[in-house]
Amino acid sequence: MENPPRSLNKFWIGSCLMFVFWYLIIYAYDWSSLSLPGLSSLALDSISTDERNQSSNSNLDSSNRIAEEGEREKRCRGKYIYVHDIPSRFNADYIKQCRLLNRWQNMCPYFANDGLGQRLRPGWFSTNQFSLEVIFHNRMKQYDCLTENSSKAAAVFIPYYPGLDVARYLWDPAKAARKDSDAKDLFQMLKALPEWGAMGGRDHFLVSGRITWDFRRTGVNVTDWGNTVMVLPEARNMTMIAIESSPWDRNDFAIPYPTYFHPSTDGQVSGHQTKMAKQKRRFLFCFAGAPRPNMAASIRDQIMAQCLAAGRRKCRMMECRDDKRNCMKPENVMKEFESSVFCLQPPGDSFTRRSTFDSILAGCIPVFFTPASAYVQYLWHLPEDHASYSVLIPEGDVRRGNVSIDAVLSQIPKDRVAVMRENVIKMIPNVIYADPRSRLEKFDDAFELTIRGVINRVEWLRKEMRDGRNESGEFDLEFSWKYYTFGSIEPHEWDHYFKRGG
């Protein structure tokens, strides 16, 4: 009866000894020390294979990286932009002071979403007309051809927010003496940098979200309107970009006001164009705005009177008085323009209006009363053939009561109106700023066209320097509008529009 347990014990002892023996053979012995080729290769082949795979992957990654860099170099040649790294006191800090930027309105909500404002629906935002410099800077951060090597740059961008800077003091005479300080400090800093010295600032540009007249104070009285950014000596060499330029200066150029539409995909753009092409338009013309009783030269009173005289079935009017908030709501403005064939765009406090670009966005044909409102302004964004997309009715004729707006617009043949509307709708991508957090693939928006315009201008200035010429300095500043629009200063039918005081 004792044999089975003893046999079982021997079995377990033997099993344990065999386990220890094979464990030592497999795991404790250094097989790589053996000279037998078959045995050494078994241990090392897997290591060599892993190393070869890692090396192959590394070489592949390196090759892909080199190919991508080569492709980018080819794609960006002549398009590189160098962005100055300036202290936040010249840009972001102004946004922190958003409550100081407008006496009557809290500007803080307008800086949400990279400057686009509060989101209304996909692609649409409550955007303030003075937010452009913030939007543009955020778009620049996503530009495909940025470089940290300024010697490769086709142009140099200064991310300064001059519009927000001056807005802090426009309605506060007690702080007027400080209006010029930031701009002067910035230019002194830039002048000391090698990037400035390369072309004396001629390859530099900045963007303002306000009109040029807010930066052209020439009087010695600091309480006068605006600051001196655009008349400082350093600015005379730069390309100054604003939502409205001076027809009588050779260094500032206008780009579109921001609209409410900031698409993030090509589909949003083409979808909106299709919608506008199918839109039913019940009214012949419309006007959204307020009278200017304190401006003797304004024709707004006459325009509003003519709209009322035409009747509600022909002219739709949205009066933007202080006690009415209709014009502050994007949906109201767009609804009016989308339901009209023509949109009247008389000058307001200055030559240009944001409303021009809202009307284009709505597929509504703009009607201008002076070429200073668009034709000599947005040279990089609007077609040279202004009659292909708009109507010009001389403001003098309206002022003197010599013309009926209703009659002029009613006499335009329907087939021509259809072509004009089609052209306006095609222009929509040119006048919108895409969402800075995305990128359009098919369309060039207003940002892309601006960069192209700046680069072409800098290349022209660079060529002039090489040739020892200064062609733009050879004509009177009064003819700047004519030179840049037509390439000539010969007499023109528009001359009377641009006579100072006329």
pLDDT digit string (tens) for 90-121? Answer: 999 999 999 999 988 899 999 999 999 999 99
| H helix runs in 97-198, sequence order | 112-115, 132-141, 162-167, 181-191, 194-197
H or E element in which residue 340 lies: strand 340-345
What is the mean pLDDT of the segment spanning 245-273?
97
Report CA torsion sign: 362, 364, 370, 376.
positive
Q: Can you give the pLDDT at residue 216?
A: 95
Instruction: Name the pLDDT band for 57 (thresholds 50, 70, 90).
Output: low
Q: Can you give the pLDDT at residue 471?
A: 67
Q: How far apart are CA 235 and CA 228, in angstroms?
A: 10
Q: Can you give the pLDDT at residue 2?
A: 42
* Range among 38-42, 416-420, 488-492 rated most confident: 416-420
* 141-155, 171-185, 249-263, 434-448, range with the lowest pLDDT: 171-185
Closest to 455 measured CA to CA, from 77, 43, 54, 5 = 77
Type of residue numbered 97: Q
Are 166 and 247 contained in the same domain?
Answer: yes
Q: Can you give the pLDDT at residue 146?
A: 98
For 343, half-sphere exposure in the C-beta direction (CA atoms, 13 angstrom radius) is: 32
Report CA torsion sign: 117, 119, 123, 126.
negative
- Give me the residue label for tokens 């060499």: 237
Are 309 and 204 contained in the same domain?
Answer: no
Residue 46 in this model has a pLDDT that exceeds 60? no
Q: Is the CB of residue 295 less than 8 Å from the CB of residue 355?
A: no
Higher pLDDT, 32 or 245: 245
**What is the tens place of the pLDDT at every residue in 172-207?**
877 878 899 999 999 999 999 999 999 999 999 999
Burial class (CB in 10 A: 0-12, 13-18, 19+), 134: buried
Residue range of the domain that includes 342: 270-431
Are 116 and 248 contained in the same domain?
Answer: yes
What is the mean pLDDT of the segment spanning 76-83?
97
Q: How far apart are CA 163 and CA 242, in angstroms?
A: 9
Residue 8 in this model has a pLDDT that exceeds 50? no
Q: Can you give the pLDDT at residue 467?
A: 86
Q: How far apart are CA 333 and CA 295, in angstroms?
A: 24
- On whether residue 63 sits in a domain, the answer given is no
Show the tokens assigned to 483: 């030179």
> What residues form DSSP beta bridges with 104?
none
- On whether residue 217 sits in a domain, the answer given is yes
Q: Can you give the pLDDT at residue 16?
A: 55
**What is the tens place of the pLDDT at every residue in 384-394?**
999 999 999 99
Instruction: Name the pLDDT band for 1 (thresholds 50, 70, 90).
Output: very low
Residue 487 in this model has a pLDDT that exceeds 80? yes
Quote the mean pLDDT of the chain: 88
Are 106 and 208 contained in the same domain?
Answer: yes
Q: How far apart are CA 360 and CA 272, in angstroms?
A: 12
Type of residue numbered 127: T
Type of residue numbered 367: V
Are 239 and 292 contained in the same domain?
Answer: no
- On whether residue 13 sits in a domain, the answer given is no
Q: Can you give the pLDDT at residue 65?
A: 73
Q: How far apart are CA 206 and CA 240, in angstroms?
A: 6
Q: How far apart are CA 83 and CA 159, in angstroms?
A: 7
For residue 17, give the 3-state DSSP assignment. helix
Indicate which CATH number applies to the domain containing 371.
Answer: 3.40.50.2000
Instruction: Name the pLDDT band for 59 (thresholds 50, 70, 90).
Output: low
Instruction: Name the pLDDT band for 60 (thresholds 50, 70, 90).
Output: low
> What residues form DSSP beta bridges with 286?
316, 343
Q: Can you give the pLDDT at residue 288?
A: 94
Q: How far apart are CA 157 and CA 376, in angstroms?
A: 24
Higher pLDDT, 26 or 468: 468
- On whether residue 100 sits in a domain, the answer given is yes
- On whether residue 65 sits in a domain, the answer given is no
Query: What is the tally of structural domains in the chain?
Result: 2
* 5-19, 294-308, 414-428, range with the lowest pLDDT: 5-19
Counting residues of the chain whose pLDDT is more than 90, the rounded percentage is 72
Report CA torsion sign: 360, 493, 396, 226.
positive
Are 284 and 238 contained in the same domain?
Answer: no
- On whether residue 43 sits in a domain, the answer given is no
What is the mean pLDDT of the segment spanning 291-317?
89
- On whether residue 181 sits in a domain, the answer given is yes
Counting residues of the chain whose pLDDT is more than 70, the rounded percentage is 85
What is the mean pLDDT of the segment spanning 449-459?
98
Instruction: Name the pLDDT band for 38 (thresholds 50, 70, 90).
Output: very low
β pairing state of 81-83 and 252-254? unpaired
**What is the tens place of the pLDDT at every residue in 417-427?**
999 999 999 99
